[in-house]
A and B are shown apart, each in its own frame.
Chain A
Amino acid sequence: DQQVKQNSPSLSVQEGRISILNCDYTNSMFDYFLWYKKYPAEGPTFLISISSIKDKNEDGRFTVFLNKSAKHLSLHIVPSQPGDSAVYFCAARGGGGATNKLIFGTGTLLAVQP
């Protein structure tokens, strides 16, 4: 049962344009969402997070939007840079109980073309 889904395996964007990565979830008990960026053979790097009580969080070029009614979140990167090329994972925490367990989506490979 895939509770966190990233339906786009890959995304290609031109440098300077906006990248939008999407994530859907099924468990309404999730209380915290995070985005990580990952290069091959390395650990995920934390990018940005959002609590379920908010609908937007911004940090520099990265903005995360949360639509609880649709159980959907998205990561916007503006402007996109070639160094942003990596796999992006969304993750959700919660689902009942005091736990820091993260459930990850399957990832989206972002390629930013110069």
Chain B
Amino acid sequence: KAGVTQTPRYLIKTRGQQVTLSCSPISGHRSVSWYQQTPGQGLQFLFEYFSETQRNKGNFPGRFSGRQFSNSRSEMNVSTLELGDSALYLCASSLNSLDTQYFGPGTRLTVL
């Protein structure tokens, strides 16, 4: 069974732009969560989706948003990019809402 896939793997943007990252969960998994990893803050929770509904949101500004589609695929969007948004963005999927999360390889976002 294929693992979690994330596209693109690498992205370079400039301040003020917006970006959309995509995540395809493991087949059959219905829950998707997003995390941000930075050297200073470590791994921090962004959002959690289950059956197209956002169940939980981390402590991030409103510039960070996400959604989940009926096929469980998920996207996250960051608007008005700032230098501090440079990070590895990780998506994780789980079979149901309280099962073990399996991570994708991440999208490395660099904001110049």
Binding site for B on A (CB under 8 A): 32, 34, 36, 41-46, 49, 89, 91, 93, 97-107
Contact = CB atoms under 8 A, between A and B. Distances in A.
A36 B108 CA distance: 19
A102 B99 CA distance: 11
Contacts of B104: 43
Interface residues of B, number: 28
Given A41-B88, A41-B108, A107-B42, A101 B48 contact: yes
Contact of A102 (B88, B97, B101, B108): B101
B28 interface: no
B94 interface: yes
Contact of B105 (A42, A49, A99, A101): A42
B33 A102 contact: yes
A43 B94 contact: no
Given A41-B108, A100-B94, 16 more contacts: A32-B98, A34-B101, A41-B106, A43-B105, A43-B106, A45-B103, A46-B102, A97-B56, A100-B48, A100-B98, A101-B33, A102-B45, A102-B101, A104-B35, A104-B43, A107-B42
B100 A34 contact: yes
Nearest to A32: B98
